[in-house]
Amino acid sequence: MAHIIVPEAEALLDQEIQVLDKGFVRLVDYMGGDQRIVQAARVSYGGGTKSYRQDRGLIHYLLKNHHTSPFEQVILTFHTKMPIFVARQWVRHRTARLNEISGRYSVMKDDFYLPSPDQVKFQSESNKQARAEDSLPLDEALEVIKTLEDEQKSSYANYLKLIDKGVARELARTNLPLNLYTEWYWQMDLHNLLHFLRLRMDGHAQYEIRVYGEAMAKCAQAVAPLAYEAFEEHILGSVSFSRAECDALSAMLTGQPVGLEGKPLDAFLAKVEKMKSAMPSTDIDEPAPPSA
């Protein structure tokens, strides 16, 4: 089968997409594209080449109905630079192949992440693992950033002292903080990359990994624009409801109490708001109070 060339992806190859203060995402290589997805799907029933409109319809059908294996035929390889704490979230997505720079072999660079003042926020009171919406006052935010920077400089200076003494690099690195930048090559098929993007581009994801997801999304869109369009339509722009939430939605539409309270109610209302925001107009009213 001939190698598939996608002009938009070719134009993006080896171009650094800047992320955070010192990080980046680069599309190093890719294999396949929308054409490979439809070829893989049609081989199961011997279908030949179709029109662009038919290809688009097939890709939307496949993604909407969770026929994922054709998307695994498309492969993207990235070179990325990110803070270690971002990498430790990232690596939880185990359906990938990666090679990371090693502090056992290399002297680590003096590259540390510092947040911008608007990202220095209070701890959320409703979510134990997240920031609140409000940033600290500017003077306090700058003080926090200065504290981080001072500790980074001290840690790195001590690291270099150990290196200069001849201490093994694998030991000298152990006190370097989590906001040190690392680099790796990351290769993933499109199906699993879209799953990564669904989670890491979500508003609940930590800001520092969310911006990497957004950069990688540009690459995925360049490689397989029809697949990414279907992803936006059927996954990013969609809302799923549990059985209890479906019952609550049915009750809401008929003016009955939704029967949910507390966090389940909050989660349900957030989904309804997302659904309403995507509609030009809606007749959905606020839910009646939960039944006693």
Question: What residues act catalytically?
Answer: 200
**Residues across the chain:** 292
Alpha carbons 80 and 184: distance in angstroms, whole number? 6
Specify burial of residue 62 (Cβ count, 10 A radius: 0-12, 13-18, 19+): buried
The stretches of the chain forming alpha helices (DSSP H) are 7-12, 34-42, 52-64, 84-90, 138-164, 169-172, 190-200, 207-223, 225-231, 243-253, 262-277
* Contact assessment for residue 124 and residue 132, using Cβ atoms and an 8 Å cutoff: yes
Alpha carbons 190 and 42: distance in angstroms, whole number? 18
Q: Which residues contact 35 (CB under 8 A, 6 or more apart)?
A: 4, 55
Three-state DSSP state, 258 = coil
Q: Measured on CA atoms in the order 40, 44, 50, 54, is the torsion positive or negative?
A: negative
